[in-house]
Amino acid sequence: MRSGERGSAWRCVLLLVLAVAALAGPLSCGGGSAGPPTVSFYIFHEPSGAFERGAERCSRLSNGRYHIRISELPSTADGQRQQLVRRLAASDPSIDILGMDVVWTAEFAEAGWLRSVPAGLREAVSRGTLGPALRTATWRGTLQALPYNTNTQLLWYRRDLVPSPPATWAQMIDMGTRLEEQGRPGRVEIQGAQYEALTVWFNSLVASAGGRILDDAGRSALDHTATEAAEVMRLLARSPAADPSLSNQHEDDNRLAFETGRAAFELNYPFIYPSARTNAPELFRNLAWALYPSMVAGRPSHVTIGGINLGVSAFSPHPDVAFAAALCLRDADNQRFAAVHGGLPPTLSALYDDPDLRREYPFADTIREALATASVRPLTPAYTNVSLEIQSALAPPSGIQPQRILGDLRTSIGNALNSQGLVP
Amino acid sequence: MPRRQELTGRARAERRLALILCAPAVLVMAAVTAYPIVYALWLSLQRYDLRFPNRSAFVGLENYLTVVASSRWWQAVANTVIITVVSVTIELVLGMLVALVMHRTIFGRGAVRTNVLVPYGIITVVAAFSWRFAWTPVTGYLVRWLHLSTDPLTSHGTSLAIIILAEVWKTTPFMSLLLLAGLALVPEELMEAARVDGASAWQRFVRITLPLMKPAILVAVLFRVMDAFRVFDDIFVLTGGANQTQSVSILGYDQLFVGLNLGIGSAVSVLIFLIVALIGLVFIRGFGAAAPGAGTRR
């Protein structure tokens, strides 16, 4: 009996020692061990392994100057932001390079968590990079991060139902309604759930109508274009062309709904293309693409740009090697691999002419054209709050009251910009 | 209360030893509990947004005024009160039935009690995920069985109902365990005597069991009300607070971790703390609830 007790006491002590050792392990590794400095790169999990391959390649090419270690962030965008914010707010020195959604750049820069790109590197970063992607990485006139991947939505449609693609939103809703009335699939698949994509939809419509949500000084700049945008959202939501679960749909729900053949149109990112090829080969033969519909006939649309920027933490103990590593991570070879294998459109314009990429992306020219005139979501450190207010005001799209929306948004965005009031 | 009396030297020494022995625990408690509470109080009096460190300032009660003036706060309070009152009421009735079954079971007593406890043993987040999948069209069997045409988690009323259902399923076992302890306090002779006097089963339950169980019932309800008022994980997983289903805890979390507004978020936390403290006070002063064991000595 007693020996048993002693045994379990020893086991406790052993566990305790192991726990302490496990805690101390990572701390001691960061210290003055020999060999090249480790640059830790925090980024979301990318299933094709393109990020790991890039990190290994750059470590090799650096000739012992640095070694890049990838640490994976949570799978959801909110989870990624929370982990980064928690660590950065605590001045955590264990992050060197952070993979940020484009809309966090201003927020992180304003909080003093990013080291702006050194003057000597700016030319190397901006050369050949798409303009709107660079704009997302710029805050207060300074380049704060390195554009890594980009992304944007196209209009996907079925050639067997729609001979020529609609140029405007009004035409598209009209075509969809008529198809539905004839008893043929005419739905328009778009993300209508109360989350970030609702802000993306609204931003694309406002920009396409010639307006913008915030001005250059970061003040609310909403005008009649916001009302027009809200009217289009409501019009679609209440038309026979709307998906019945519109108010709960995310990107992947749209993809699935389109693949089942109930829709004629889909506004979504290029990831739906390889998916349709595998899941719906019959439908895939008629899958065609066009630029995002415009708001005003004869004027181009300005679809919202997405993607990832690479930032270097203000608390990184070796920023010079971190910048060198980040520059290598986004070089043409790594971007090509990520585009071809991971479906992440590159930020380097010349890659859209690359034969490998064009084989995987027959729509490469359309994407480049869309990106050239793309719009950027509001650049403000309070972006998350602004976006949450927009989502809250526009959800569900069928319940939008266009006469009231402008006043509501002005008040709530004003509060959000001053970090006043409660976030929804 | 023990009467004050002259302490012998030995008693004094023992008291000193007791203080020294308690000191480490008190220090740990101060470090992990008292310090964060005081710090949250201090933060709640400041304008403090993580993204605008330069704009931090002492603002007194302004954050509290902002919270109390916000319709989002009152919506969250209303949701929380609805969830608390409805779920605890159902749990009390169901829990009492389950406790009576457990009390009266003659064979397989261990098996019955173990089975009843299963929901309480499952991690709340895991259970919440299975509820979510069950109620989502395409993946969900409940949607199929009930032939629902829409997604019940997309509208306010049905979302609240599902949250309450998940809470009831999860915590009824806890309620029934506490009530079972109370049932054990009812002397069998009293029931026998009442039966001989011709009291019906209902009369025996209302006149004898309930009054004798009152302390146990009050404690069970108090625990559950304080717990239910802080409901977080079920809502976080099931709706994430969409369709106006935020509870006060979800609202506080959103201010702190999504909005990064430590000032307002701390004010929300302090208000939740005050409300929970008030609930405890009302139960103890108003209904005479007492900690288990303390009631018998009075």
- Chain segment A121-154, per-residue pLDDT in tens: 999 999 999 999 999 999 999 999 999 999 999 9
Q: What is the pLDDT of residue A26?
A: 46
Residue whose token pair is 């980009």: A150
| Of A362, A363, A339, nearest in space to A291 by CA | A363
Query: Average pLDDT of A148-171?
Result: 95
In a domain, B268, yes or no: no
Is B66 within 8 Å of A85 when comparing Cβ atoms?
A: no
- Please indicate, yes or no, if residue B91 is contained in any of the structural domains: yes
C-alpha distance from residue B49 to each of A414, A420, B32, B68, B242 (Å):
16, 10, 23, 19, 24
* B27 domain residue, yes or no: no
Q: B32 lies in a domain?
A: no
Cβ atoms of A72 and A43 closer than 8 Å: yes
**Model confidence band, residue A15 (pLDDT cutoffs 50, 70, 90):** low
Chain A nearest-CA residue for B246: A424
Task: Just give the CATH number of A154-304+382-417.
Answer: 3.40.190.10
Q: What is the pLDDT of residue B295?
A: 47
Cis peptide before A147 (omega within 30 of 0): no
Q: Is A424 an 8 Å CB contact of chain B?
A: yes
CATH of the domain at B155: 1.10.3720.10
- Per the prediction, chain B carries an average pLDDT of 88
Counted domains in chain B: 1
Q: Where in chain A is the domain with CATH 3.40.190.10?
A: 37-151+305-372, 154-304+382-417
- Label the pairing between strands A287-290 and B57-58: unpaired
Chain A residue numbers with beta carbons less than 8 Å from the beta carbon of B72 are 422, 424
Structure confidence at residue B5 as a pLDDT band (50, 70, 90): low
Share of chain A above pLDDT 70, in %: 92
Closest-approach residue (CA) in chain B for A110: B51
Percent pLDDT > 70 in chain B is 94
By residue count, chain A amounts to 424
Q: What is the pLDDT of residue A28?
A: 43
Report the alpha-carbon distance of residue B243 to residue B159 in Å, rounded.
8
pLDDT tens, A390-416? 998 998 898 899 889 999 999 989 988
What pLDDT, on the 0 to 100 scale, is given for residue B141?
87
User: Looking at residues A292-312, what average pLDDT do you find?
Assistant: 94
Higher pLDDT: A331 or B110? It is: A331
Q: Which of B52, B66, B259 minimises the CB distance to A381?
A: B52
CA distance B149 to chain A (A): 10
Q: Label residue B266 exposed, middle or buried (CB < 10 Å: 0-12, 13-18, 19+).
A: buried
Residue A3: pLDDT band by 50, 70, 90 thresholds? very low
> Which pLDDT score, from 0 to 100, does residue B56 have?
86
Confidence band, pLDDT 50/70/90 cuts, at residue A31 = very low
Rounded to whole angstroms, the Cα distance separating A165 from A171 reads 9
Taking only the tens place, the pLDDT of each residue in A111-122 is 899 999 999 999
**Angle, in degrees to the nearest 10, between helices B262-281 and B210-229:** 180
pLDDT at A4 over 90: no
The residues with which B216 forms a beta bridge, in sequence order, are none
Higher pLDDT, A20 or A372: A372
In a mutagenesis test of the A interface, which of B51, B67, B269 is the best target, namely the one with the most A β-carbons within 10 Å? B51
Least confident of A401-415, B52-66, B238-252, B283-297: B283-297
Burial of B25 (C-beta count, 10 Å sphere; 0-12/13-18/19+): exposed
Do B258 and A388 make contact, defined as CB atoms within 8 angstroms? yes
pLDDT of A25 above 50: no
Q: Which pLDDT score, from 0 to 100, does residue B106 have?
A: 79
Between chains, do B50 and A419 touch, taking CB under 8 Å as contact? no
- pTM of the complete model: 0.80
CATH fold of the domain at A37-151+305-372: D-Maltodextrin-Binding Protein; domain 2 (3.40.190)
Average pLDDT estimate for A312-332: 95
